[in-house]
A and B are shown apart, each in its own frame.
Chain A
Amino acid sequence: MNTGELLLELVLMPLVAFLVGLLLVLMMRKVRAKIERRVGPPFFQPVYDIVKLYAKKTQISHGYMHDVAMMMLLGGYIASEIFLPVPGMDGVAHQADLLTLMYLLMVPMLGMAMGVGQTANPNGSIGISRALTSMLAYDIPFVIVVAGAAIHYGTTSLPTIIEIQQQQGLQSWGLTTMPLLALAGLMTMHAMLGKEPFELYVAPAEIATGPMVEMSGKYMGTLFVMQCFQLYTVGVLYTTLFLGGGLNWLTFLPKVFAVVLIAVSITNVYGRYRTEDAVRWLWKWPVMIALAGLALVMSNV
């Protein structure tokens, strides 16, 4: 890959991620509307929201760490997108692997935690505490799933994983070769998105939206952008691991949307778990299923 292609991908991959993310946010709001028997927002609503937030006159900051955190948030996700291979653009996915991506995705979360910390609002701190707790909760089954998948494929390099899954079509998808792990992975991805019933870190009624209590204007806008990236990343990651990636965008995007659709559909019919209940649930069912899947994978190795 020569420098020109690389530079192009450096710009395109985050951009594509953002755009697809916008569409995913739109889908999420439309689905909610349909379940609630509403029309739902217009097509460009997510864009309007972001522009509105950025265009606000008063932009209140609580300190330089607050600002740096927003940059870290954006930056972390932009960097992660460049490491996530999509059809036609591998980016720098050969220079890092699945484990790196997993930990790279924690950098934006840490950045946001820093920023929220500096806002000095206890609601925000409580929200971060819950967010980190839920991260501990869902990351355990997630690591089991990743470990199982990596051992099954024999590699942690994402492009290689995609290649392996595309060898024999549907038969070699992770979904069919590791069904238990795929199921556990789906549960974990749902928790990763922070959607009900695992929305404990937002909890608008209890902690005044938690980390977002002191975010307004472009700060809120950045969080909005982050949500786009987040939906995209989680969807693409799951697709890469279990749904065979995609040869081209036509086969790829439906899979991504399907994954996110499942999550946002379920979320609309649930309330919110308490912290202990969320942790207990995540440490029970996904972990058991993932361990069973792992045992199957290890016995085949």
Chain B
Amino acid sequence: MIGPVLLIALPFLGAFLLPLVYQHYLRAAYWAAPMVVITNLIIALALWFGVSMVGPQSLLMGGFAAPLGITYYIDHLALLFIILLLAGSLSLWLGAWHRRLQEEMLTLLLIGSGTGMALSGDLFNIYVFFEIMAVASYGLTASRRHCGQSFAASLRFLIVGALGSSMLLLGIALIYALTGTLNLSHLAVLAPELLHGTTGLAAFAFMLIGLGVKAELFAVNTWVPEVYAHAPIRVIALLGGFVSKLAMLIIVRLLLLLYAGSDAYLILLGFGALGLLTAEFAALHATDLRRILAYSSMGQLGLIAIAFSIPGEAGLIAGVALAAHHAVAKPALFLLIENWGGHWQKLSGAVKVAPLASVIFLIMTLSLIGVPPLPGFWAKLLLFQAGLTAGGIFNWAIVLIVLTTLIETAYWLRINRQLFQSENNQPPVNIPPDRELWPAALLLVLLLLISLNIGTISDELTQMAYHANDTETYIKHTLPMWQTGE
């Protein structure tokens, strides 16, 4: 089937052809990149319906037999994040009146590599796509001209990222040394005997650190506040909202397929908990709006990590729900603060000049805190259920989450108070122009639609988590490809 191939190939093709189009057909160039993304989105949706009807699919890329060939596994879990990535980058394209060739190229590369990474069933293939994605993101974070600080921030990002990628490669090398294969399904079969020992866990630690740079995990997320403070808003929304989730998705795949039932879950729990704790408290102290949102992102990703670290379907559902919710809520907030920026106390009385923006901000933050009946609450409820059912150390994780929810309420409410209640007659803030408001408003509508249909959506999520957890099916689907190749 050609769908997945197109999903990956089209963006790459588009990226490499874009300079030519820009040079010769300027008017068409305006629409070229969005068209690619739209096409991808249609294909992804078609694949989604396909998987809904016949179940997960697998594909041998290029028809090359394994072990040299690479398998691709298309299921709902990967498709969800791919669709989010596509829809997100599309909506971020709306209203961007300042088009630059380099940015578009890098974004297309990001999309293509992200899709490939999500669908891939081969460890090294994942690494390759991860690297492309990383380089694209380094480039994007530095794309704000005339801002020396953004260069410095992206340089730091690059250093940490490069180090992380080396760690990832080291981990993959360790796994290859232990098992002799890089195919995920083969590894899934071999994992219980070979990978759950000390060396295997060490390999997981390496890979976690490497992937964790993108997934904004504790200890490797120090780049986040700097980059978020200086990079363009759209880039941040893309990185924080969608790229980080893709990295998290890979971690989840590794956990599910390779490390099911081992202590690797606890390693992720530790990182997630520490990340949540430190980031939320740091957000309490931050005063620059962009940094507050940066720390909040880090905290939420820590929360998602905790959710994914709970073994079993329950944790999976909770993690996916939280990730999807964050992917909808956070980009909206970033879009709103593009023109606001600066110290949060400067927002005094914003409701008078920008009522719609203030309301969107309020509702999004309420959803992040977890106020019913917004979707954020249902996601947190799923997390509580998963955690308290698992018991043991996860009870303490829930206690931590309760505490950090309080901290979240404090700092979000501080800002909302400023928005809606003006103490003194300060000059009004800038209104975000309509072009930015439209995507944010769309996201709000999406959020509200989700809250109205929470029943059906939660059922879908349950199905998705069930299938994702089903390692047997994965192996069943992909291993014949491996074995027939022999």
A and B touch in the complex (CB under 8 A): no
